[in-house]
């Protein structure tokens, strides 16, 4: 559910309200019992609250009916759930199921492509299967959570849209820094 809340919203907003939301939506049963208007009001701070409320209700219904209220740990089953795409599936597999999956989004792609000097031929690099495979190959066995959290945090604090290269501990080997910024 957290990943649905994070769609097209600032992670800081989610962090400020997530405890309240999770306390009210502990189980799929709780979610289904809550009137849609109340759920929408609860989700309003996240933006797109009507869409997110409808997705969460539908998802809770399917999880309850098809999986006895338990989120599956199979990529195929996760991808069959309403509103679940590759990113959400990989995030659940990594953070909830402990599977060695890269959690690839525009932020982590930015870090990896800058550091390794990779250029995708796709207009939307997140759809590039070669880039996805490359990033997946970087995930250390048994350390997927640490790897993904580190990459997510690094992209939010250092390797931002306007990067803080001069404070970056990785700049020595970073292709972006060494080819674009070093001589400025």
Flag whether pLDDT at 8 surpasses 70: no
Q: Confidence class of residue 22 from pLDDT cuts 50, 70 and 90?
A: confident
Comparing 7 with 150, the larger pLDDT belongs to 150
For the chain, give every domain's residue range.
2-96, 106-181
Q: What is the pTM of this model?
A: 0.86
Q: Which residues contact 183 (CB under 8 A, 6 or more apart)?
A: none
The topology under which CATH files domain 2-96 is: Endonuclease III; domain 1 (1.10.340)
Kindly report, residue by residue over 68-123, the tens digit of the pLDDT.
999 999 999 999 999 899 999 999 999 999 999 999 999 999 999 999 999 999 99
- Rounded distance, CA 136 to CA 130, Å? 10
- Rounded distance, CA 47 to CA 57, Å? 16
Report the candidate in 71, 75, 99, 10 with the shortest Cα–Cα distance to residue 46: 10
The topology under which CATH files domain 106-181 is: Endonuclease Iii, domain 2 (1.10.1670)
């Amino acid at each position: 559910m957290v990943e649905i809340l994070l769609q097209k919203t600032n992670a800081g907003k989610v962090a400020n309200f997530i405890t309240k939301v999770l306390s009210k939506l502990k189980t799929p049963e709780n979610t289904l019992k809550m009137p849609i208007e109340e759920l929408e009001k609860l989700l309003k701070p996240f933006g797109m609250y009507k869409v997110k409320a409808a997705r969460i209700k539908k998802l809770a219904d399917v999880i309850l009916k098809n999986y006895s209220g338990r989120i599956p740990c199979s990529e195929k089953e996760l991808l069959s759930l309403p509103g679940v795409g590759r990113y959400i599936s990989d995030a659940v597999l990594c953070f909830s199921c402990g599977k060695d999956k890269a959690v690839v989004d525009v932020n982590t792609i930015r870090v990896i492509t800058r550091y390794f000097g990779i250029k995708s031929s796709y207009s939307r690099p997140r759809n590039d299967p070669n880039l996805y495979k490359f990033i997946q190959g970087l995930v250390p066995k048994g350390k997927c959570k640490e790897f993904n959290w580190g990459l997510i945090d690094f992209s939010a604090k250092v390797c931002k849209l306007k990067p803080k290269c001069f404070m970056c501990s990785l700049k020595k080997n970073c292709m972006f820094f060494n080819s674009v910024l070093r001589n400025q």
